[in-house]
């Protein structure tokens, strides 16, 4: 009787159309700034969003990730050279802006206003990409010392900066322009001079220990497809001329 049941089950599976077979569900570790757009590109994977440095450390320590998308090449390239990640590729770009609470109590109208005494500034920690890019911009503008003296908090990812500024816990923060959009009217955006912007490149790659390499490659193809690139642009990201 048991053999008969098993036989019928096997026949049933074989009779299913190819498209109805359960798909492999991968785990994607991705920079916090990709929280809104990645599920729009593909809602199937399990996503873990956080600061790129935190995710890179977890992957290096053996966390069960299949794909890693970082807001900076620093993390992906290090994992690649250490044999943890397969060769990554650039799939998006970004820019930094200043955000202020909707009421703008400190009357900030320019990044140079962050030098004023008493302005409470929130930035990313130096180890996370947004924090590193912030420091590069301040250095380019020659205002590092004055602004850093006003820093009241350094956050582990860009989402935390947006949340605190939106709540009025800071007078201003430096974030990716893609993160101001989801915040809606809770914050106002102030542009940073283009000439001071560092090149912000997002890279993505497959974790070598992943047992779902084909599914990981399929996810990356969706991210770099015409639809994926269109959704990235709609979210405010820039694009490389071609994935490389």
80-97 burial: b if 16+ Cβ within 10 Å, else e: beeebbbebbbbbebbbb
56, pLDDT greater than 50: yes
Is residue 19 a part of any domain in this protein? no
Q: Where are the beta strands (DSSP E) in the chain?
A: 27-31, 46-50, 67-70, 89-94, 96-101, 121-124, 151-155, 172-176, 187-191, 200-206
CA separation for the pair 159, 157 (Å, rounded): 6
Q: What is the CATH number of the domain that holds 104?
A: 3.40.190.10
- Tell me how many domains the chain contains: 2
- pLDDT for 24 equals 83
CA separation for the pair 184, 102 (Å, rounded): 10
Residues 61 and 149 in one domain: no
- pLDDT for 182 equals 85
**pLDDT digits over 194-234, tens only?**
999 999 999 999 999 999 999 999 999 999 999 999 999 99
**pLDDT digits over 76-95, tens only?**
999 999 999 999 999 999 99
- CA dihedral 197→198→202→207, nearest 10 degrees, is -160
Residues 33 and 115 in one domain: no
CA separation for the pair 217, 205 (Å, rounded): 9
Is residue 118 a part of any domain in this protein? yes
Question: Taking the model in full, what pTM does it have?
Answer: 0.86
Contacts of 15 (CB under 8 A, 6+ apart): none
Residues 73 and 103 in one domain: no
- The secondary structure of residue 149, as a DSSP letter, is T
> β-strands 200-206, 89-94: how paired?
antiparallel
Residues 117 and 192 in one domain: yes
Is residue 78 a part of any domain in this protein? yes
What pairs with residue 56 in β-bridges? none
Q: Show the domain range for 223.
A: 24-93+201-234
Q: Could you tell me the sign of the dihedral formed by the alpha carbons of 85, 91, 97, 102, in that order?
A: negative
- pLDDT for 104 equals 97
């Amino acid at each position: 009787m048991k053999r008969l049941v098993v036989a019928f089950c096997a026949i049933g599976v074989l009779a299913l159309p190819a498209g109805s077979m359960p798909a492999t569900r991968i785990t994607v570790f991705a920079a916090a700034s990709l929280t809104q757009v990645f599920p729009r590109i593909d809602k199937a994977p399990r996503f873990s969003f956080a600061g790129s440095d935190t995710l890179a450390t977890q992957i290096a320590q053996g966390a069960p990730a299949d794909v890693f998308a970082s807001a900076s090449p620093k993390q992906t390239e290090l994992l690649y050279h250490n044999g943890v990640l397969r060769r990554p590729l650039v799939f998006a770009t970004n820019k930094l802006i200043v955000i202020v609470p909707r009421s703008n109590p400190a009357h900030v109208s320019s990044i140079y206003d962050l030098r004023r005494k008493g302005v409470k500034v929130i930035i990313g920690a130096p180890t996370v990409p947004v924090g590193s890019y912030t420091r590069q911009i301040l250095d380019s503008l020659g205002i590092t010392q004055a602004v850093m003296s006003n820093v009241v908090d350094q956050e582990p990812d860009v989402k935390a900066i947006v949340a605190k500024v939106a709540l009025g816990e800071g007078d201003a923060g430096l974030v990716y322009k893609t993160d101001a959009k989801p915040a809606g009217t809770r914050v106002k955006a102030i542009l940073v001079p283009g000439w001071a912007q560092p090149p912000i490149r997002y890279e993505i790659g497959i974790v070598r220990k992943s047992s779902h390499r084909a599914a990981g490659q399929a996810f990356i193809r969706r991210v770099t497809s015409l639809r994926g690139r269109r959704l990235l642009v709609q979210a405010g990201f820039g694009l490389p001329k071609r994935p490389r």
